[in-house]
Structure formats: structure tokens, C-alpha cells
Amino acid sequence: MPVSDHALLDAWKSVLTLSGLAPGANVTVLTGAHTHAQTLAAAVAAVRALGAVPTRVDLEPLNAEKSLSRDPLAYLGTTPLTGNRAAMAACLASDLVIDLMLLLFSPEQQQILESGTRILLAVEPPEVLLRLAPTVEDRARVNAAARLLEAARVMHVRSSAGTDVRFPLGQYPVIQEYGFVDQPGRWDHWPSGFLFTWPNEGEANGRIVLDRGDILLPQKRYLGEPVSLTVVDGYVTAIEGGLEAELFREYMESFEDPEGYALSHVGWGLQRRAKWSTLSLYDREQTIAMDARAFAGNFLFSLGPNTEVGGTRNTACHIDIPLRNCTVTLDERVVVRDGALID
């Protein structure tokens, strides 16, 4: 459903206010071939309304010849900032970067954040931004869950479908996503509402069963049959099942990179306004499926890189997989039971 310019402008002003944008601050707005025109106009207008100074940097797309999908998360190779000294200088000189093109899992992003510049990503359609506009309550809920995850030494995930896997924790920090950037050097994604960490390298073991209705991203599809993943010492060593497993295996093999099979981040969804079913209502190219990543009570895990937290696994392959109906236990404390969030 179309969104009014006024409503979207108000949402941007709210998010930027939560992010502490001050009068006179410098803001670089990164745009690309798929940037939504209304989102761009509202973002720039909100920056100006709050007394800050916007600069738009428009960048050419990359990696189309390498990716099997049009989804911007399907191939994490070099970015439009790679080797672009002028664009990097603008970002590094800014108090805030608004990313409307999707700059993720890259050395350039880490360099910008390490300088103290904040980065806010916003690439979902305007109506999704409105419905999932972040609040201080979202931050409080994610903060509370983060305290539990930071104290845990083992995450144990089970389901009636057959999932039974343990993730030893502690090597990597906990990442909170609540939708705004209120601290220097912070990255966040509007919309969101979940948290995650990375299991200790080489220590995750067990079995993960993707059941009917679970979601593969960037494929943006609900599975029609179960797919079983065997996890040995932090890597998926077998993908078993029917046609769905064959499609998954061929996609993974296309990267020709064994590091793509490594367990990446693990966590759970906390956003009650996000809906598991929303992906069924959109064309695949309209969304990157943040509802699927954030809906309350999911178990979200991924395969691929760990550079976001300072690791060295810089593989181009990145798969996010939100599962329903799991029980997630931190040491002896249940935080999700059969897909229901425990507040």
C-alpha cells in the first residue's frame, strides 16, 4: 500500500532523533541502482529538518556477473566503496552514514565504523519501514536479551522436527539490532529487532532440520519439505533431503568456497510487529525479508562470513535461515520455547 510522503518523513525524523542526530552534523547518504526514490527523498528532507547537512554519494552496482540472484545479499564480494577514495573520504568525514544501497560485511564498512562514524541501513520498502519503525521499547527488549546472551556459555537449540545442536559461546561479542544508531561507531538496520553472536570457532556440533515453512535467504522461499544439515566442528558437512536439499546444495557449491559452509551468526527474533508470513505477500525483488529475520520467537542462524566481528572468514557466501517452532536454551535458561518468545 502506498505511503504518504508526510508519514515517511515523520518516521525518518523519529529514527534520526533516536539516533541522536544533532544540528550541524554531516550526513552522507549512500545510494545505488535500487535505492527507493521516496525513501531517499524522505531521508534527505529529515536530515535537513533536523538541522544536519546531507551529502548524497551515488555508487555503481558490482558483482552482477558473479551472483546467481538479484538479491543484494546473495554475493558479498567487493563493494562500490572498494578502492573509491573519494566516496570513502565522504563517509569517514561524516557523523552518520545513511546506507540506502546495502553495504554489508565489508572491510570498508568496518573502517568507517572504527572511525566513530555511525551507519544506518534502510533498504526495505517504505511501508515496511513505517510498520517496523523502531522504538525505545525495542531497544530495551533487545538490551535485556543481550545481557542473557552475553552471560551464556552454550546455546542449545532443539525442535520437534529433529533439530538438536549446541553452540559453545564466548569467543565473539553479541550484536544488537534494534533499528537506530545511538552510539559512535554503531551499525544498525531499520527495520530489525533481534540479536545474535557467533559460536566459538570449530566447536558447534549437532543437527539442524529446516522444516516445512522455514525460510531460506537470499532465496526468499518457504521450504516445502524438510532439509537436514549435519554440523561437525563448526561446519555444515552434509545437506540431506529431497529437491529442496538439491537446490540448496547446488547454490552452496556455486561459490566454490569451503568457508561458505561455516556456521556464522546465531540468535533469535524479538520483534512482535514482524510477521513470518509477510514474505508470501511480496515479489522477491521488493524486499530483503527483514520480517523473516526479526519475527518474535524465530531461531535465526547463518552460514558464511565472520568479518562483522573482526574475524578473517571473508567468504562471498552468506545464507540466513530463520526457523520456526524451536526451543532455544542459554545454559539452563529457556528464552524461546517451541517458537514462542519468553520475555
List the domain range (segments joined by +) for residue 241.
Answer: 136-341
Residues with Cβ within 8 Å of residue 211, at least 6 apart in sequence: 159, 161, 223, 226, 323, 324, 325
Both 258 and 315 in a single domain?
Answer: yes
Same domain, 62 and 140: no
Of 91, 110, 131, the one marking the end of a domain is: 131
Q: Which three cell numbers stand for residue 31?
A: 545510494
- Residue 125 cell numbers, joined: 520498502
Q: Are 116 and 184 in contact (CB under 8 A)?
A: yes
pLDDT in tens, 292-315: 999 999 999 999 989 888 788 888
| Last residue of one domain, picked from the residues 113, 131, 149 | 131
Same domain, 20 and 89: yes
Examine the pLDDT at 69 and tell me if it is beyond 80. Answer: no
190: which strand partners? none
Longest dimension (CA), the chain: 58
Share of the chain above pLDDT 90, in %: 85
Residue 122 and residue 142 share a domain: no
Helical packing angle, 37-49 and 5-18, nearest 10°: 50
- Mean pLDDT (whole number) for 261-271: 98
Both 24 and 111 in one domain: the answer is yes
Three-state DSSP at 247 gives helix
Quote the CA–CA distance of 300 and 320 in Å, as a whole number.
7
- pLDDT tens, position by position, 113-168: 999 999 999 999 999 999 999 999 999 999 999 999 999 999 999 999 999 999 99
pTM: 0.94
Same domain, yes or no, for 189 and 266? Answer: yes
Q: How many domains does the chain have?
A: 2
Read off the pLDDT of each residue in 31-36 and give the average, rounded to a whole number: 93
65: confidence class by pLDDT, cuts 50, 70, 90: low
Residues 282, 182, single domain; the answer is yes
In the listed set 81, 105, 131, which residue is the last one of a domain according to the structure? Answer: 131
Whether 281 and 243 share a structural domain: yes
pLDDT tens digits, 228-241: 999 999 999 999 99
Q: Taking Cα atoms as reference points, which of 278, 118, 140 lies closest to residue 189?
A: 118
- Specify whether 177 is located in the same domain as 314: yes
How much is the mean pLDDT over the chain?
A: 94
H helix or E strand, kind and range, residue 86:
helix 85-92
Do 28 and 167 belong together in one domain?
no
